[in-house]
Structure 1
Amino acid sequence: MTGPRIVLGVSGGIAAYKACELLRRFTESGHRVRVVPTASALNFVGEATWSALSGRPAATDVWSDVHEVPHVRIGQEADLVVVAPATADTLARAAHGLADDLLTNTLLTARCPVVFAPAMHTEMWENPATRANVATLRERGAVVIEPAVGRLTGVDTGKGRLPDPGEIFEICRRVLARGVAGVGPDLAGLRLVVSAGGTREPLDPVRYLGNRSSGKQGYALARTAVARGARVTLIAANAGLPDVAGADMVHVQTAVQLREAVLAAAADADAVVMAAAVADFRPAVYASGKIKKVDGRDPEPVALVRNPDILAELSATRPKAGQLVVGFAAETDDVLANGRKKLARKGCDLLVVNEVGDTKAFGSEENEAVVLSADGSEHPVPYGPKEALADTVWDLVAERLT
């Protein structure tokens, strides 16, 4: 294989078995992977497994193949180092520059992007010592992914679960691409809020008024922001997609619920991107039982009431001083003209305008848009992956915040 060179560090936690799936994704996509497990990690997954899955001998200690100087060479030659899972102990040793095993030596010699995917019990993650170590690593340019919330070892549940390996891979892929381009985590230190998906307004227990938004563009925005070092809250409305690794996830259904979640998260956010498709109206009356069909009789008309205009409210109130607000406008005709009117009406700083329809935007992996700015400038984004549009949005946000 001649693809990018990845070092996969594995710490000694029960989540080590999930790193096998991450390794498989790297190798199947053409990356050359060298696995560097700690001694504790080998108690959970053996050396033979790492070697078989990577197609290369696992590097387990500084005394093997000494003539190749592994404690220096492995880090020097890497295009990306990712530690998954990263235990509290590994984070502490990395933050303090210790070099007592091959993995910590590799971290000290690496001049490439470094990603840590922590996994530990909630109490350990929330301990001030761990939080200080994470802050130190982020200040030095490492991307430390926020752990997921869910089932931990035993019966415990809370924040500290290793995110889905597929989602970790997507974050690493973006970090690697930016590293190859010579761009680091330029959004580090920023708190960002992204909404995604489409709201559903219930008519009765089985029916709702909704839209066709898949949530993929909002999720691409969240993944890209995490890869660029930001602390991200993703508020997802009925997206049905895997949680984004590193994002604080909030799941909602209706426009009213979305408003409450966005305003709460925006209180200390540097920027809010409203990519969700929010229903303009909701049924005025909710039927507690399923509305029955009566033979020979037309159904009663459905009265609608307006939903709150979340984007306009955010733009007007700005919960945090200096906050940047970005909106999305899905149009079917007179796209730019309608977009400019909406930008002026909503009062946001940037508005992403795109044409939608049966074969455009909805559910697709690609998008095409124009980002309109309140200062009158326009930034066309040609047809391509939704993450490319996401990067353009964050470029414009970073430019304005700095």
Structure 2
Amino acid sequence: MAQLLLFRFCMTALPGGRTRFFFCLVFASSLLVLVPQAAFAEKPPQASKQFEELAGRAAAAREADRYAQAVDLYKKAVEINPAWEEGWWYLGTLYYDSDHYERAVPAFRKLVMLNPKLGTAWAMLGLCEFGTHDYQNSLIHLERGRALGLGGNEELANVTRYHQGLLLNWKGEFEAASEMLSPLVARGGLSENLKVALGLALLRVSLLPTQLDPSKDALIHAAGEVGAMVAMGTFDQAVTGFQKLLNDYPGTPFAHYAYGSTLASLSNYEDAEREFRQEIKITPESALPHMQLAYIKLRLHHRQEALPFAQNAVGLAPQSFAAHYLLGRAMFELGDATGSIKELETARRLGPYSPEVRYSLVRAYSKANRKAEAERERTEFARLNAMLERQQQSIRQSYRTAGGRGGLEPHEVPLSDGSPK
């Protein structure tokens, strides 16, 4: 009987009495649940008797947990038949199970070359690359695995989502990381490792859990608990949690920003504004609270008040397409079509895949009677919106795209340009 790789939580001791939680693999009943046998190409008819014998002995050794013998036999079998997908799969998973990630990577690379549509193989390649600290490639391949599909295996889907969330946070894509991690709270409860990941994303700390200063453990755990409340939609508890977090850890960068974003999502704009203004005092170098304040003012039709916040955002983050977008919006609302077009065209250059920018350009060009350019942007807006909707369906990930008016909620300033993955 073939065997299935299931995922479980493991815990190892770290210096100072701390523990580190991570996902690892254990062998269980049937591979059919994780990777259907039909996903692999059949053995070629011309397979030699030597290959058939090696394949049978390798399977027997693997099922008997004779790791070293199984690895040796699978290596010999794939040397004879390099196109044997199932052999590369088992060789890779045997290496992974023994924490030999650097050896597992070539096996899974070979497998995805043979079967580039096998999402589970891409996901395993990404997990192995995570183990070798090749984080850039790991993120790319985890995304590809989820996009292709993981055969309905919930365990692998959860592990892939978790590691993808960690890497998005490591790259500084904090909103995307939170969206990736949040569904795991409902699926499997709030484990310690998930709590840390949510806390890092909430406070916009672009580190992996293993890179975290031990002195910050309590803060990150507390932030993670609040992040889990937000993820579950228990906002009354989240508000209380934020207030306790701010009281216990005053002056923490981006804690007020996270609280303000949550309040804005509840349309509590007055209290959200208070939190964003407080964040400006703590992190004066950040453009984010200025952008959020500009958006709230635009949402409330306080156009003149929005302008200085948007100008401050552009000054602090001149390469942020979102800052130029907000300044362009504010100028448009104040009747300055020429200035608006200039800022929105800069936003388009910096964020070419943002449908919000394209829609705002439609309005600005139309007001300036530049009909051909307005029509061009209208077409591009429709194309980008459709593209993001397809991404949402294929990757099963929430993308906040523009609605019929091309607008977002105040807490949804488009910090990502929506570029295709």
TM-score, structure 2 normalization: 0.33
Higher helix share: 2
User: TM-score w.r.t. structure 1 length?
Assistant: 0.34
Greater C-alpha radius of gyration: 2
User: Which one scores higher on RCO, CA 8 angstroms, separation ≥ 6?
Assistant: 1
